[in-house]
Amino acid sequence: MQTTHTYDVLISEVGPRDGLQSVARTMATADKFAWIDALVAAGLQEIEVGSFVSPKLLPQMADTADVVRHARGHAGVTIMALVPNLRGAQAAMQAGVHKITMPISASRAHSLANVRKTPEEMVDEVRQIAALRDDIAPGVHIEAGISTAFGCTLQGLVPEDEVIALAVACVEAGVDECGLSDTTGMANPAQVRRLFTRLIAQLGDRAGAAHMHNTRGLGLANCLAAHEAGTRTFDASLAGLGGCPYAPGASGNVVTEDLVFMFEAMGIRTGVDLARLIAAREPLALGLPGEPLYGMTPLAGLPKGFAPQHYR
Q: Within 13 Å of residue 259, how many CA atoms lie on the same side as its CB?
A: 38
Give the whole-angstrom CA distance, residue 75 versus residue 244: 30
Amino acid making up residue 247: A
- Give alpha helix (H) positions in the chain: 29-41, 64-71, 86-95, 108-115, 119-136, 160-173, 189-203, 219-229, 256-265, 274-279, 281-287, 296-300
The answer to whether residue 223 is catalytic is no
From the candidates 152, 178, 223, 244, give the one annotated as an active-site residue. Answer: 244
Written as one letter, the residue type at 241 is L
Q: How far apart are CA 153 and CA 148, in angstroms?
A: 9
Torsion of CA 75, 81, 85, 89, to 10 degrees: -20
- Using left for φ > 0, alpha for ψ between -120 and 50, and beta otherwise, residue 241 falls in beta
Closest-CA residue to 35 (of 49, 55, 56, 52): 49
CA-based torsion, 130, 52, 186, 35: positive or negative? positive
Q: Residue 181: which region, alpha, beta or left (left: phi > 0; alpha: psi -120 to 50)?
A: beta
Burial 203-236, CB ≥16 within 10 A → b, else e = beebbbbbbbbbbeebbbbbbbbbbebebbbbbb
Catalytic residues: 244
